[in-house]
C-alpha cells in the first residue's frame, strides 16, 4: 500500500523510509508534545492537526512563538544538536505527529541530499518566523501587533480568493503578547477602518495589501 506523503517536497521512497523510522503519536487538545527543558530526542513532523510552540514568561501569561500544521517540521535546532527544547509544544487540537528519533534524523541529514535541503529550507523559514515574532512583540501599538499577526497567519492570497483566519482571538492574543480584551478591541478597530472584514465572528481577507500598508 502506498504511503501518504508526509513531506510533499520529498519523493515517495524517502517519505516511506521516514515513516518507517519514525514513531506515530496522537495528542489530544492541550496535551504537551514536549516541555521546555526536555532533552531533544526526536524531530517532530506534523501529520494532522495543529501544534503551537509556547513560552510562559510569567504566571498566567502564554506567548505563542510558532504555529504548525500538516506537513510542517519544527524544533529543528535542538533536534540537530541534541540539547534541550527552548519552549513547550502543545497540541491546539487533536493532532498526530511523526516523531523521528534524533539518531535517525542525523543519519538522514548525512545520507540524503534532498532531505537535508528540505530541513535547511524549513530552518530558514523558522528563523524568518522568529524574527517576525520579535518584531511583533517589540511593537508598542496593540493594533499594529494584531495586524502583523493576522498578516503572518494569512500568508499569500491568490487573486480573487478570500482568506478566512480560523485561529481564535485567544490564539491571536498569545501570538501578539496582548490580553484577550485588548486583542478583541484591536480587531474591531481594524474592521472599522476597513483593513479586515468580520463575518460570523471570523476574520476574512480578500487581500493582504491593506494590512501591509497599515503595518509599514
Q: Is 88 helix (H, G, I), strand (E, B) or coil?
A: strand
Q: Are residues 127 and 207 in the same domain?
A: no
Q: Are residues 97 and 160 in the same domain?
A: no
Residue 4 has pLDDT above 70, yes or no: no
Give the CATH number, domain containing residue 151: 1.10.10.10
In a domain, 1, yes or no: no
Q: Average pLDDT, stretch 115-140?
A: 84
**How crowded is residue 148: how many other Cβ atoms within 10 Å of its Cβ?**
23
Q: Are residues 85 and 179 in the same domain?
A: no
Could you write out the DSSP letters of every residue in 6-46? SSTTS-HHHHHHHHHHSEEEEE-TT-EEE-TT-B--EEEEE
Q: Which among 137, 158, 183 is the end of a domain?
A: 137
Q: Which among 80, 108, 137 is the end of a domain?
A: 137
Q: Are residues 50 and 132 in the same domain?
A: yes
What is the structure's pLDDT at 5?
Answer: 57
Q: Which among 137, 165, 199 is the end of a domain?
A: 137
What is the structure's pLDDT at 158?
Answer: 60
What is the structure's pLDDT at 157?
Answer: 63
**pLDDT averaged over the chain?**
88
Residue 6 has pLDDT above 60, yes or no: yes
What is the structure's pLDDT at 144?
Answer: 92
- Tell me how far CA of residue 136 lies from CA of 49, 82, 146, 166, 175, in angstroms: 25, 29, 8, 20, 9
Give the CATH number, domain containing residue 124: 2.60.120.10
Cβ contacts of 118 within 8 Å, gap of 6 or more: 7, 9, 10, 73
What is the structure's pLDDT at 29?
Answer: 94
The total domain count for the chain is 2
* pTM attached to this predicted model: 0.71
Residue whose C-alpha is closest to residue 46's, from 87, 93, 12, 115: 93
pLDDT digits (tens, 9 = 90+) for 155-201: 766 655 778 888 889 889 988 888 899 999 999 999 999 999 999 88
**Residue 27 in grid coordinates:** 495528542
Q: Are residues 62 and 93 in the same domain?
A: yes
Q: What percent of the chain has pLDDT over 90?
A: 56
Distance CA 109, CA 31 (A): 29
Q: Are residues 60 and 125 in the same domain?
A: yes
The region of weakest confidence among 87-91, 98-102, 121-125 is 121-125
Residue whose C-alpha is closest to residue 73's, from 54, 51, 88: 51
Residue whose C-alpha is closest to residue 21's, from 110, 82, 102: 102
**How crowded is residue 105: how many other Cβ atoms within 10 Å of its Cβ?**
26
For the chain, strand residue ranges (E) read 23-27, 32-34, 42-48, 51-58, 61-68, 88-91, 95-101, 163-165, 197-199, 202-205
Cβ contacts of 18 within 8 Å, gap of 6 or more: 6, 7, 10, 45, 98, 100, 108, 115
Q: Are residues 18 and 70 in the same domain?
A: yes
Q: Are residues 168 and 102 in the same domain?
A: no
Residue 11 has pLDDT above 90, yes or no: no
Asked whether 53 and 36 are in contact (CB, 8 A), the reply is: no
Amino acid at each position: 500500500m502506498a504511503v501518504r506523503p508526509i513531506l510533499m517536497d520529498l519523493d515517495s521512497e524517502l517519505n516511506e523510509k521516514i515513516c518507517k523510522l519514525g514513531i506515530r503519536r496522537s495528542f489530544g487538545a492541550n496535551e504537551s508534545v514536549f516541555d521546555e527543558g526536555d532533552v531533544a530526542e526526536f524531530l517532530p513532523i506534523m501529520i494532522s492537526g495543529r501544534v503551537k510552540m509556547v513560552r510562559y514568561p510569567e504566571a498566567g501569561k502564554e506567548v505563542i512563538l510558532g504555529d504548525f500544521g500538516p506537513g510542517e517540521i519544527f524544533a529543528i535546532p535542538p533536534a540537530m544538536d541534541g540539547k534541550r527544547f527552548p519552549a513547550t509544544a502543545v497540541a491546539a487540537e487533536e493532532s498526530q505527529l511523526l516523531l523521528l528519533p534524533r539518531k535517525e534524523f542525523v543519519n538522514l541529514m548525512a545520507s540524503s541530499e534532498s532531505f537535508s535541503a528540505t530541513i535547511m529550507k524549513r530552518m530558514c523559514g523558522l528563523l524568518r518566523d522568529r524574527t517576525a515574532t520579535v518584531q511583533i512583540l517589540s511593537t508598542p501599538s496593540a493594533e499594529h501587533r494584531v495586524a502583523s499577526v493576522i498578516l503572518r497567519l494569512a500568508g499569500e492570497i491568490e487573486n480573487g480568493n478570500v482568506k478566512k483566519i480560523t485561529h481564535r482571538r485567544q490564539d491571536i492574543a498569545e501570538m501578539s503578547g496582548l490580553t484577550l480584551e485588548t486583542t478583541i478591541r484591536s480587531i474591531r478597530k481594524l474592521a472599522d477602518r476597513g483593513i479586515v472584514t468580520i463575518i460570523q465572528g471570523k476574520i476574512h481577507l480578500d487581500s493582504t495589501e491593506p494590512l501591509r500598508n497599515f503595518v509599514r
